[in-house]
């Protein structure tokens, strides 16, 4: 089964109204200006819109993963059985559920355009699922205070922590791919974006490449 087909069950065709409007506006403006021979071809414009849209949503996904991890660390500092432990337990569940929701903001067509996207989204979905499973398994101990601290409960999250590490690696790879694609398109077709945007994307690509093992 191809990566694109594996990706299909884990996504649904949903985008924010704002992103759709921005993308539509960008396509309209660029296509409307394509009267000179050196203007970007239609396929370059369409690919650029996909790259920018995916970059926005992937950035949100990365932020949600970071916030969910921070929520777990905060939960681990609470005394089981306390009101704060119950509150942060609910918050941790919400955090990882937000990650799951954000993984639905990608489409099969985007996965075909952007290499590494499917792997990153599926890895994030798997990590979030296992974190939520682990949280459900320790809910009773956390809320009742049947353990003195969160420390002995960490063993319930061994797989989730491993999956999250894999997801972070995959997300970094997808971010690098997107930055390289944006830089390449903007360099080949300067009319796609202001020079400042092109410079920022190419700088980001360089930095991400340097940070990749």
Percentage of the chain lying above the pLDDT 70 cut? 82
Rounded to 5, what percent of the chain is helix, strand, coil?
A: 80, 0, 20
pLDDT tens digit string along 44-91?
A: 999 999 999 999 999 999 999 999 999 999 999 999 999 999 999 999
- Burial (CB count within 10 angstroms: exposed 0-12, middle 13-18, buried 19+), residue 52: buried
Q: What is the dihedral of CA 7, 12, 17, 21, to 10 degrees?
A: 50
What's the CA gap between 53 and 11, in Å, rounded? 15
What's the CA gap between 167 and 120, in Å, rounded? 6
pLDDT tens digit string along 151-202?
A: 999 999 999 999 999 999 999 999 999 999 999 999 999 999 998 999 999 9
pTM of model > 0.85: no
């Amino acid at each position: 089964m191809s990566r694109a087909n594996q990706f299909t069950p884990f996504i649904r065709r949903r985008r924010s109204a704002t992103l759709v409007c921005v993308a539509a506006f960008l396509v309209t403006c660029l296509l409307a200006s394509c009267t000179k021979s050196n203007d970007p071809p239609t396929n370059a414009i369409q690919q650029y819109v996909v790259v920018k849209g995916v970059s926005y949503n992937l950035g949100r996904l990365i932020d949600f993963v970071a916030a969910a991890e921070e929520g777990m660390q905060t939960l681990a500092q609470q005394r089981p059985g306390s009101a704060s432990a119950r509150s942060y337990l609910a918050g941790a569940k919400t955090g990882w559920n937000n990650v799951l929701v954000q993984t639905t903001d990608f489409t099969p067509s985007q996965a075909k355009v952007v290499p590494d996207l499917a792997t990153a989204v599926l890895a994030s979905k798997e990590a979030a699922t296992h974190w939520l499973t682990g949280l459900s398994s320790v809910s009773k101990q956390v809320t009742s205070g049947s353990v003195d601290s969160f420390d002995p409960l960490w063993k319930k999250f061994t797989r989730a922590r491993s999956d999250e590490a894999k997801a972070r690696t995959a997300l970094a790879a997808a971010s690098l791919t997107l930055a390289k694609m944006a830089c390449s398109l903007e360099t080949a077709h300067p009319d796609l974006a202001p020079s400042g945007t092109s410079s920022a994307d190419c700088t980001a690509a360089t930095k991400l490449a340097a940070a990749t093992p």
